[in-house]
Amino acid sequence: MPRGRKKQSLDEKILDTKQSIYNLENRVQELYEELEELLERKKREELEKLSEALEEAGVTVEEMLERMKTESNDEPAMEHIA
């Protein structure tokens, strides 16, 4: 007949809970690091797509930045709607 679980002392339960928290904090940190890597990878892929599109259009980064700056200065200011 199987025996039941050994009854843990309060100190053992405290240690187990602390260990669980520690393990979870480590896992959260690992997930944040993974997320950061994925976001960086996405950013690099988007920049590569943008670079390829500029190259196909025969436009340099500097030319595109100048165009964007000029266009933003040419647009009328948005009126604040209350």
Q: What is the per-residue pLDDT across 30-54, written as a single tens digit (0 to 9) for each? A: 999 999 999 999 999 999 999 999 9
The torsion angles phi and psi of 54, rounded to 5 degrees, stand at -65, -40
Q: What angle do CA 12, 16, 19 make, to 5 degrees?
A: 140
Q: What angle do CA 47, 50, 55 make, to 5 degrees?
A: 125
For residue 2, the model assigns a pLDDT of 62
Domain residue spans of the chain: 10-74
Instruction: Identify the weakest region by mean pLDDT among 4-8, 21-25, 56-60, 69-73.
Output: 4-8
- Burial of 13-48, coded b for 16+ CB within 10 Å and e otherwise, reads eeeeeeeeeeeeeeeeeeeeeeeeeeeeeeeeeeee
CA separation for the pair 11, 78 (Å, rounded): 64
pTM: 0.63
- Look at 82 and 60; give whichever has higher pLDDT: 60
Q: What is the mean pLDDT of residues 16-30?
A: 98
